[in-house]
A and B are shown apart, each in its own frame.
Chain A
Amino acid sequence: MCPRVNSRAQSALSRREVLRAGGALAATGAGLLAVPPAAAAAAGPFAHGVASGDPLPTGVLLWTRVTPAAEALPGSGAGPEVSVRWEVALDEAFTRIVRRGTVATGPARDHTVKADVTGLAPGTWYWYRFRLGGAVSPTGRTRTAPATGSALARLRFGVVSCSNWQAGHFSAYRHLAERDDLDLVVHLGDYLYEYAPGGYQAGEVLVRPHDPPVEMTTLEHYRRRHAQYKTDPDLRALHARVPFVVTWDDHESANDAWSGGAENHTEPAEGTWAGRRAASQQAYAEWMPVRYEPGGRLYRRIAFGALAELSMLDLRTYRSRQAAHPLDPVISDPARTITGSEQLGWLTAGLVTSGAQWKLVGNPVMIAPVRFPSTLSTRELEALSQLTGPLEGVPVNVDQWDGYTADRARVLGALRDHGVRDTVFLTGDIHSAWAAELPADPLTYPLTRDSVGTELVCTSVTSDNIDDILGVPPRTASVGVEAAIRVANPHLKYVELDSHGYSVVEVTPAAVQMDWFALADRTDPASAARHNASFVVRAGTQRVQRTGEPLR
């Protein structure tokens, strides 16, 4: 990650904050520590909505969670074994059902349901729903990927990351759900956060408290937290609207996770890291519409005809421990890794031999090198350090690829040595918007502008960024910081450190374009969003260029 979170010094919630936390809480009259997960009875057995993910040309993964009995609450381990039926149709009224089946579930998988549907037609919209006894789920819509190798004129998808429940409402998801031009949504991680209420929120304001009201460390916690997020109406609406392609970053387990631990994990008080991580991964596999099961491989590749393929990375499971500080010589130690050698080989071999024109990489943390200028004030540097990690000496973010320069050199070297073009990293994590070229050699880039690829970074759905941390109005203090960063990093063509929201990406044979949209107020559940900026990568150029025209 991402904004460094102060996981000590957590103030107790004031009564005012509890009241701010929302009408639902007040209406139940329940004390904070007894907040039930979503009211299952009221919403019926499908209280957590429906979702789909990982589209293939002839298949897609469907997801739901059932609450077959009042006691079958998320994380409880209680409730009966049941059998859930699913149906896939070519129309919303289900007059042309093309596939149906049955999936068994029960407390062992927290009553979550995943159906990997096959035998569908490529590039086709489908509607799906589940049945439990006489109850019928809400209807979801999904889309298969285009036929392998087929020409595709356009692919359009939402890109999001860093959605912290406690920091605001998921209006970004609502705005994406209201569009009717998206084929899917790519979530780059930090889909949920591990903190207890008061641990990490909207600056000083707790917009709505987490359930369970503790830092999640056990399987029950992780399940309940996932369940809580799936009660958000905007997230549910988006899941029901288009398939997701997801990967995790650190907060799905704990802040600054690596293969052997995490910054926000304390042994033995919080159990072993292996046990905690296994719990987080099990809950993730159960609760997310992803073709992943515990112990398996999350990194995977999804193709969209001859136009594009999307390699989704897992940059937490195999990585070496973060360097202690940015001057730590281990940053360039070739034995350290952010991907693990197997994933790195898979990534580079895939990029080099790809049959697709655009090689998109779903990349949880930034790969473009970032050096911070020495001209910034102490306060500005401190705020930046909260976004990027500790600043001492040469300021780089040791949790990003900047902290693993040998692996980055291997990836960018493969692109250059094999003449791979049109690689675009789609990145989240840093709670701010960036557009960057990837220098073949950072030292000569200012003269040659030789770039081997590009990176487009979406901002956070809600999580804090610079103006929140500095406690200043948007587009004030950050403007100068952004300018200074760009001067120190000529390959960074766009830096915007204030806004929350979402991105929309369009891929065509001629170009990839990202539009950034900013929320008016992340703490307002009805927040408006406006177009903030657009950058385009024209085919064959490995360059980012600002464009005044948002996608239509």
Chain B
Amino acid sequence: MTEYSRRRFLRVATGTGAAVVLSAAAGTAPAAAAPQGPRVYVLVVDGLRPDEIGPVLTPTLLRLREAGTHFPAARSLPVTETIPNHVMMMTGVRPDRSGVPANSVYDRAEGAVRTLDRPADLRGATLLDRLAATGRTTGSVLSKEYLYGIFGERASVRWEPFPIVPVSGHAPDLATADALIAMVDESDPDLVFCNLGDVDRVGHTDLTGTTLRAARSAALWATDLVVGRFVRHLRDTGRWASSVLIVLADHSMDWSLPHRTISLRSTMEGDPLLERRVAIAQNGGADLLTFTGPDAERAEAVARMRRLALATDGVLSAHEPGQLRLGPEAGDLVVYCRAGWRFTDPQVWSNPIPGNHGHPATAPIPFFVTGGHPAVTPGTSSAPARTVDVAPTVGALFGLPEPDGGYDGTARLAPVPASPR
């Protein structure tokens, strides 16, 4: 593990004139003149729907997909939210092992619903620290404050998102791309984990609803441009031939009409056993319900919660967390909504945004392995790629041993038959 306290700050000038501040673990070497071995860039276009990739709005992503191996059957994993899926990408294990099942959970110890954005929330090792421990350089360029929060200082080189857009809590893709390019120039990491947040954030805040997604379209177009800029930079600096890009989303997006909202809080409050004893962590398309009463009453309480939830208009299904490979952090019951609906808990006005994810309708994601590395080959695979497959795929590229207990994912190396290193 990296010694977090011993770090240095790097101030890097960028092509767009902005200065980027990176922090690095002590002893991280600056870029060597010519890169050795593969450089792997995991680019997460947050919230991108697979059917949004096309020649008009996202020509760069389309070209990259066609040049690499495309996994059209790819899906996000429960809960289809940002933090758990980013954690699965970097750990290669499911939430019952990482401790990170959703963005928002009810913290029994603190007695409050909170975001899982603390470094200690993530149990076990990630690629960022495991690869760094082998002497390689890893980097994180995460546009969202809570992602920066949970991954903390695990990477050898980190960028803290800045400037932050108020309300959305994320840095715009232009700034994120500046940081990504600056980090590659400065430290040339073997692995960079990058989250581009604009497409998702604009999806959430786009109030134009189901039929007019003008802002979303503009974000897709703009994000595609910054990806194009990054690719061009890799080419211009002679890195393309050693680059492997894993491009995917953490989840997709589903739009709901204003009247299609579900408030389970009011439903639960009508039951005398459950009244004021159910905590609800709302995750857009999924509600995580925790019974806060005595353990002796839990079984009966959960049965009632399930019955009441399933009788509610717009609810798709209810699951024991273990069924979804979620640990105790997910509470007692996970409730999904149908497509075109959203949860708004604890209050009926808590979730005013039309674009949501967390429910199964938002599981399909884009997922392709591309780049100029000679081992990358064009093609399409039926394999059921998942977000949890990113870590084993990257690990295999670097010949990294599996973590304790093995991976829960599978290396998707159809396009890269041999480990180049």
Could you tell me which A residues sit within 8 Å of B by CB distance?
A: 151-152, 305-307, 355-358, 413, 416-419, 421-422, 440, 444, 447-448, 508-510, 539-542
Contacts and interface: CB of A to CB of B under 8 A. Distances in A.
B361 A357 contact: no
Given A418-B360, A419-B362, A448 B210 contact: yes
Given A419-B362, A422-B72, 13 more contacts: A151-B383, A305-B382, A306-B382, A416-B338, A416-B339, A417-B360, A418-B363, A419-B361, A419-B363, A444-B210, A447-B211, A510-B380, A539-B72
A307 B382 contact: yes
B362 A422 contact: no
Given A417-B339, A540-B50, A542-B51, A422 B73 contact: yes
A509 B72 contact: yes
B79 to A, nearest CB: 14
A355 B338 contact: no
A541 B339 contact: no
B316 A151 contact: no
B256 interface: no
A413 B338 contact: yes
B417 interface: no
A508 B339 contact: no
A540 B316 contact: no
B382 A151 contact: yes
Nearest to A538: B72
A332 to B, nearest CB: 18
B211 A448 contact: yes
Contact of B72 (A355, A416, A421): A421
B51 A541 contact: yes
Contacts of B361: 416-419
A186 B26 CA distance: 65
Contact of B364 (A413, A419, A509): A419
A448 B213 CA distance: 10
B211 A421 contact: no
Nearest to A355: B384
Nearest to A357: B382
A305 B73 CA distance: 14
Contact of A419 (B70, B360, B382, B383): B360
A421 B211 CA distance: 21
A299 to B, nearest CB: 24
B382 A356 contact: yes
A417 B379 CA distance: 29
What are the 5 A-B residue pairs with the smallest beta carbon separation, nearest first? A539-B72, A357-B382, A510-B380, A509-B380, A540-B72
B247 to A, nearest CB: 14
Contacts of A509: 72, 379-382
Contacts of A417: 316, 338-339, 359-361
B70 to A, nearest CB: 8
B211 A540 contact: no
A151 B211 contact: no
Contacts of A358: 382
B90 to A, nearest CB: 23
Interface of B: 50-51, 70, 72-73, 75, 210-211, 252, 316, 338-340, 359-364, 379-384, 414
A298 to B, nearest CB: 27
Contacts, number: 71
A466 B359 CA distance: 45
16 contacts: A413-B338, A416-B340, A417-B338, A417-B339, A417-B360, A419-B252, A419-B362, A419-B363, A421-B72, A421-B73, A508-B380, A509-B379, A510-B70, A510-B72, A540-B50, A541-B51
A444 B380 CA distance: 32
Contacts of B252: 419
A71 to B, nearest CB: 53
A400 B382 CA distance: 32
Contacts of A447: 211
Contact of B51 (A306, A355, A356, A540): A540
Contacts of B359: 417
A198 to B, nearest CB: 50
Contact of A421 (B70, B339, B364): B364
A151 B73 CA distance: 13
Contact of A152 (B75, B360, B382, B384): B382
Given A413-B338, A421-B73, A422-B73, A539 B380 contact: yes
A540 B54 CA distance: 12
Contacts of A440: 339
A54 B172 CA distance: 55
Nearest to B212: A447
A510 B360 CA distance: 23
A440 B339 CA distance: 10
Contacts of B379: 509
B72 A357 contact: yes
Nearest to B338: A417
B50 to A, nearest CB: 5
Contacts of A305: 382
Contacts of B383: 151, 306
A419 B75 contact: yes
A181 B382 CA distance: 21
Nearest to B360: A418
A413 B314 CA distance: 12
Nearest to B213: A448
A540 B73 CA distance: 7
B357 to A, nearest CB: 10
A355 B380 CA distance: 16
Nearest to A540: B72
A307 B382 CA distance: 6
Contacts of A508: 380
B153 to A, nearest CB: 35
A166 B391 CA distance: 62
Nearest to A543: B51
A449 to B, nearest CB: 10
Contacts of A510: 70, 72, 380
A357 B73 contact: yes
Nearest to B53: A540
Contacts of A416: 338-340, 361
B365 to A, nearest CB: 10
Nearest to B414: A151
Nearest to B254: A419
A419 B362 CA distance: 6
Contacts of A444: 210-211
Contacts of A419: 75, 252, 339, 360-364
B51 A151 contact: no
Contacts of B75: 419
A494 B380 CA distance: 27
Nearest to B384: A355
Contacts of B363: 418-419
Contacts of A542: 51
Nearest to A306: B382
B223 to A, nearest CB: 19
Contacts of A418: 316, 360-361, 363
Contacts of B211: 444, 447-448
Contacts of A421: 50, 72-73, 364
Nearest to B50: A540
Nearest to B251: A419
Contacts of B382: 151-152, 305-307, 356-358, 509
A440 B51 CA distance: 15
Contacts of A151: 381-383, 414
B258 to A, nearest CB: 15
A340 to B, nearest CB: 23
A444 B362 CA distance: 20
Q: Which of B50, B72, B382 gathers most chain A CB within 10 Å?
A: B382
B420 to A, nearest CB: 22
A306 B364 CA distance: 17
A422 B51 CA distance: 12
Contacts of B339: 416-417, 419, 440
A492 to B, nearest CB: 20
A360 to B, nearest CB: 13
B186 to A, nearest CB: 37
A299 B383 CA distance: 26
